[in-house]
Chain A
Amino acid sequence: NAGVTQTPKFQVLKTGQSMTLQCAQDMNHEYMSWYRQDPGMGLRLIHYSVGAGITDQGEVPNGYNVSRSTTEDFPLRLLSAAPSQTSVYFCASSYGADGNTIYFGEGSWLTVV
């Protein structure tokens, strides 16, 4: 079972460059989200989606865009990379109701120099 698949796993960007982190899930989950993980801060929500065509901002949305054209895919775009965006990014998905288990991808390690 593939679950939640993220690519790339590792990426180095120069300041000002743009890129897209890909995320796909094969569990037919309505809800998908992106988190970033920084040392000592746990995971913080960037953007989320409750279904195809619907997205919304989380706690730390600045500098990131998302779209949800299909149930399966939820790409995260960095518009103009900054060193502050150096982080580990996790895509996650779940069924909609509160309390359902959220499943995470393997993570994307991004360094902006």
Chain B
Amino acid sequence: AQSVAQPEDQVKVAEGNPLTVKCTYSVSGNPYLFWYVQYPNRGLQFLLKYITGDNLVKGSYGFEAEFNKSQTSFHLKKPSALVSDSALYFCAVRDVFSGGYNKLIFGAGTRLAVHP
């Protein structure tokens, strides 16, 4: 079965420190992977995606993610966290059994808290 796991409900980091939000996946074939961010009482905003090519993907707001096929992971990273990065982060993978519809399977989300 296809799935996405975000093993940490919450991640806490100090402002200025590097941050990592973890994501692992299980799909058939080549995965299309996405990261979205949700600020309080707001919709999901697209951060970045991996379709093919370079394993290191750069996205919005200074975030990047590394695709690791052997570990089936797609961890989100940022070299220096900001308090304004505090939000709920979702990892998602394309559903390969969606019959051609562009459908995503989402992880449960990880709440990132950056403290001053």
User: Measuring CB to CB, which residues of chain A are less than 8 angstroms from any residue of chain B?
Assistant: 4, 6, 31, 33, 40-45, 48, 50, 56, 58, 90, 94-107, 109
Contact = CB atoms under 8 A, between A and B. Distances in A.
Contacts of A98: 32, 94, 100, 102
Interface residues of B, number: 25
Interface of B: 4, 9, 32, 34, 36, 41-46, 49, 51, 90, 92, 94, 100-104, 106-109
B102 A97 contact: yes
A41 B100 CA distance: 24
A73 B51 CA distance: 29
Contacts of B4: 42
A42 B108 contact: yes
Give 9 nearest A-B pairs by CB, closest first: A42-B106, A104-B44, A106-B43, A43-B106, A104-B43, A99-B32, A99-B51, A42-B108, A107-B43
